[in-house]
Every structure is written in structure tokens, then in C-alpha cells.
Amino acid sequence: MNTTTLGASGIECETVGLGTWAMGGWMWGGNDDAAAVDAIRASLDAGVRLIDTAPAYGLGHAESLVGTALKGRRQDAVIATKCGLVWHTQQGAHFFDEAGKPVHRHLGRDSIFHEVEQSLGRLRTDYIDLYITHWQDSATPVAETMDALLDLKRQGKIRAIGVSNITPDTLTEYLRHGPVDAIQERYSLIDRGIESTLLPLCRDHGVASLGYSSLALGLLAGPIDPARQFAGDDQRAGNPRFSAANRARLQAFFQDLAPLQQRLDCSTAQLMIAWTTRPGAVSLALCGARTPQQAMQNAGAARLTLDAAAIAAIDAAAARHLNTLD
């Protein structure tokens, strides 16, 4: 398995991590809890240690599933979870409503200390490997947020500090007040903005980069029937990228990749995930899964190293087909 290190923390993990947003059920049309627990365990069995979750994924539900799955196996996992999206207080800016509860962006010191205890309880552990500010709070000084995180680190409740959904200026401000071990940002073949903004800053400061939505919410995982309907609160139902026309256009892209997949003996999803962790890109790709089969397939991408010819072939196919997506 290809591995990486989370900044200066010394925490080592594979270049693929398991994302649990969909396991929380919220914005994904529901979920099967038993399958989710099995998927987490299957990911560990396949050699993937980093499990990424957050309180906001189902108002604590995804964290609780991770805690259940890791019972007796805590030592096998690197747990990443988050803070800053809160429903225990009305402080901060209102962000969205989930399950009838208003969720606010708030990264004040007292709130972070409350959140970490709640997460530790749901995760059934006494420490979190990587603790990430989920969304940034413009009303709270970064100095206050970092002071709280550094205190948690000194107390042994967290091992490393991460930030997510951040601008270069705000990352620079975090770095002024202490070490940041990792960022977590959207990154895929069709979401490449951080290549010219955050990734150079991370390289300059030894900060690891975790890419989420590596498969663009599943759009790049392989052909999707243009007639498929997304049900319930599944966010893809209203996402223009998932239009029937776009799904039809993607067929040609996937067909172009077929010879490369055959040469490398890999799936479409594995090819797309490996592309995101090519040299000069993100350190680690976070990939969602709701079944053991999906988790094991994603894990296989950490065993795949793309040569220059493969990278060039993917980039060329993307230039031919993906710039036509609506």
C-alpha cells in the first residue's frame, strides 16, 4: 500500500482513506447502518487505516457508527473527525438545518472543548488522531481556535491539527499561531482549484493535503445509467452535474479509459482515485463507501501507482470529454 504522513505529526496512513459522510444518511437518501459498520471493518481489513468522519454527518450518527465498528480495533485505525458545525449553541453564523435543528459555524474555545468530549464519547475512544475545523468561523479569531486545539493536543485528546474548507489567507493565519498538520479540501479530476492556491502553500509549510469528493460524489466512479433517479434527500437529485445529459456524455470518457484500465487491471474508481494522489497532487484521497464491496474497491487504489503515460492518458481523456459537462 502506498503511504503518506500527516504533516509533522508522524502519523502514517495509506494514500486512501474512508469517508463516512454518506453513512450518516443525511443528504444521501438514507443509509443501512449494518452495511456501514461492515464497510468500516472491511476498509481496515483491506489495509486502509484512516477513517474520516464528523459530528455533522447525521448529527453524530456517523461518528457513532465508527465507534461501533472500531470496538476492539481502535489500535488499527487513524481517526479523523471535526469541530465547528454545532447544534448545542446558537453562537456563530447559521449555516443550515439538519433534522429540524439549526446548525451554526462556531469555533470558539468553549464550544470546541464541548465538541471534543461529545465526539470522544460517540467514537468510544480517549483520543482523536486528526482533529479538523470543519468550516471556518469568521466571527472567532483564529488565535482563539488554535489556542484551544493546541491545549487539546497538550492534554493528549488529539494528536494532530487539521483545517478544512479554507482560503490560503486563513491557512496562513492558522500557521502563524501553531503547526497545521493537514488540510481537507474538495479535489477530483473535475475539481482542481486547489492546485494553484492551497497545494503550493501546503508544500512550502509541510502540511499534508486530504482530498474529499475524490470521485465527485460518485460521478467519476463509473458509468451511471442516465435514467437512474436519486431519491429522498440525496443531494445528487438537484446537482446539475448529475443530469441525464452529463451522465450520457461521461460514457465516452469512460470508454476512452477502458484500454488503460485493462493494462493496469483496475476499476474506473481506482483509476480516478489514484490520479488524485499522483505526484504533486493531494497526499491522501478520501473516498466514501456504504458497503464492504465499495470500501474494498476503494482501498485497492492505494496499491495503484500511475506512471507518466497513464497520467497523460487520463488528462487527455478529461480534456476531450469533461470540459463539456454542464
d(CA 219, CA 217): 6
Query: In the sheet that 85-86 helps form, which strands lie side by side, from edge to edge?
Result: 85-86, 101-105, 93-98
Question: Of 19, 23, 120, 14, which is closest to residue 67 (Cα–Cα)?
Answer: 120
276 and 211 in contact (C-beta within 8 Å)?
yes
261 and 253 in contact (C-beta within 8 Å)?
no
Q: For residues 65, 69, 74 and 76, what is the CA-based torsion angle, rounded to 10 degrees? A: -120
d(CA 45, CA 263): 26
* Pairing of the two strands 158-164 and 182-186: parallel
Residues with a known catalytic role: 57
3 state DSSP class of 8 = helix
Phi, psi dihedrals of residue 295, rounded to the nearest 5°: -65, -45
- Alpha-carbon separation of residue 113 from 77, 84, 230 (angstroms): 23, 11, 38
d(CA 176, CA 20): 31
3 state DSSP class of 14 = strand
